[in-house]
Structure 1
């Protein structure tokens, strides 16, 4: 067409064909070009706004290119402008998948992908349906690449954010377990001493004084446990070296006789995580003895090394009753069993005529042996 009028896009305006030759390249290049400049080369404030609106920019740029494609009749000679506009549009799509809100990215990316796939079809009016479909399918590949380039960093950001949330949740659960296992043990001792003092205060007020002193010591211990619990988030938790002190403190805070036996080599047979698990199990077991073992007068704690297995046994002679989970507060044996399983071990409980028994088996360190700790404790030590 050399003379006459051409119809330019969906604007409905009649312009000379020579003017159409100028307007069509502008419509093909200007929206996507301006969007690319705003996204990657504009001032910081403009870049921030453009990246938040990248989905809308992709949709508008794609709609402008589709408008141009709807106007040409196969004799359009500015295919270079269409190709350049399509390439710029692919960059806008990648930015939309990277930064735009999800819904806007999907809608704007779909419009831009349609324009990218169809840009060659109007230039080949004599092509068959299958040829046009093949060209459109081929030119879908740049949009797929844009989705991968823009979507992959976004996916990694989401995964990192999820990992941070999971780590924070794990720290919260760990803190909750520590509060239950360490602090609840000392608080239960305070309650036991207060009950004993109330029982004897009416008949012999002077006899309540030792109980009050033990309550004071238990309270100070509870404060120390709080400090230790907070510090456990930064430092390794206590291990088997603290178990004997734990048992001695339990006996001093109540009327139940507590004994501990540790076989030679146990202290070197456990990893740091397994040793911390032993300490946690003993803490929870002694707390449950005080709470649930009715009439208990004795509790025995034994750590033995049997080949490649370390066995912990906590047995008392009280009336057996399965500790029931409280509606609020500690996690008890359920969380304890999960922790033991996480270290490759097994936790079992049994109620018999002689009382309650808790048994934990943990794998020993491959490098451990009965003589692994030079100068270690004797074969059996009892406190």
Structure 2
């Protein structure tokens, strides 16, 4: 059976304070009363730090009164009531100081717990964004390929087999993304998490996109900071996911990473989808808030994000990040 000593601080202070007040009224030897004030000050600090507010208020008031009032009977015999009040006020100062010390430690502990809660909430939001950015892309690819396989299975079984292979690849990628998320949950407090994909994985991402083409300047990619690199990959994932959702019939999707003035530009541009090519996915899904959510990430990395219609009626997503030397400067 374990005893919670912290729960006993307030009752112990209450009892000790009542004993001290009674001893002062009975005019026990002053040396005993002075020595008794020491444990009272310690208990005052402990109660202010650990006890519940309601019980701490009552016990603390009695404790301060016991420390402040012990010299009053002695002064009252040889002086006036003003001197007695002055003695009580003087001895109330260390009692209030003990309360302030305990209250300060309590406040610091509360702030630490709040910081931990905020960090956990931010981590949960981060994991939710990871699931949206990466898993949603692969799942939408699975849905589109399954639709395509259903329509071509009777006329061209070979195309259906290739669609099934792409479904398998997208499914494995989604499982890998979920594995990274679970790994992050398990390792968040004990060690480094699994690496977040960056533009090094962009060729593989575009290759899984049937009509996608990639034009990436390796030197421009190397000039991105780590934060900008992972954020740019997220932007590409979200842009390609939106193409699958809203323009699955687009014949060409161009992904490019290149220098743009003093910065590095990632652009994803798709041509206009033919009429009636929305597919089941396009009719059932509404536009999400992925790019809107990524805008804050891009700005945090020092960049800008723009999305809007392209000249040929398609859609363009353009994110510009500072080169690493400008970002550090």
Bigger shift: 348-357 or 109-118?
348-357
Matched with 2:234 is 280
Q: How much has 1:130 moved relative to structure 2?
A: 4.4
RMSD: 2.9
Q: Which has the larger radius of gyration?
A: 1
TM-score, reference length from structure 2: 0.82
Moved beyond 4 Å, runs of 4+: 126-130, 202-207, 323-326
Matched with 2:39 is 88
Structure 1 CA distance for aligned equivalents of residues 212 and 73 of structure 2: 91
Structure 1 CA distance for aligned equivalents of residues 204 and 248 of structure 2: 24
Structure 2 CA distance for aligned equivalents of residues 207 and 325 of structure 1: 29
Equivalent of residue 69 in structure 2, options 92, 112, 118: 118
**Structure 1 residues 100 and 266 mapped into 2: Cα distance closer, same or farther (>3 Å)?**
same
**Structure 1 residues 49 and 229 mapped into 2: Cα distance closer, same or farther (>3 Å)?**
closer
Q: How much has 1:289 moved relative to structure 2?
A: 0.9
Q: How much has 1:129 moved relative to structure 2?
A: 4.9
Structure 1 CA distance for aligned equivalents of residues 173 and 4 of structure 2: 56
Q: How much has 1:156 moved relative to structure 2?
A: 3.6
Matched with 2:207 is 248
Matched with 1:341 is 299
Alignment: residue pair count? 309
Q: What are the equivalent positions in structure 2 for 1:1-383 lying under 5 Å apart?
A: 48-69=3-24, 71-72=25-26, 76=27, 78-125=29-76, 127-204=79-156, 207-231=159-183, 234-251=193-210, 257-263=211-217, 265-293=219-247, 295-318=249-272, 332-352=290-310, 354-366=313-325
Bigger shift: 148-157 or 76-85?
148-157
Structure 2 CA distance for aligned equivalents of residues 50 and 351 of structure 1: 67
- Per-residue CA deviation, residues 219-257 of structure 1 (Å, 9 max, x unaligned), is 233223333444566133122211122111222xxxxx2
Structure 2 CA distance for aligned equivalents of residues 318 and 278 of structure 1: 23
**Structure 1 residues 207 and 362 mapped into 2: Cα distance closer, same or farther (>3 Å)?**
closer
> Are the aligned partners of 1:293 and 1:356 in contact in 2 as well (CA < 8 Å)?
no
Q: How much has 1:207 moved relative to structure 2?
A: 4.3
Structure 1: state its 5+ residue gaps: 1-43, 252-256, 369-383
> Are the aligned partners of 2:7 and 2:51 in contact in 1 as well (CA < 8 Å)?
yes
Structure 2 CA distance for aligned equivalents of residues 92 and 67 of structure 1: 18
Structure 2: state its 5+ residue gaps: none
Structure 1 CA distance for aligned equivalents of residues 178 and 169 of structure 2: 14
Q: How much has 1:89 moved relative to structure 2?
A: 0.9
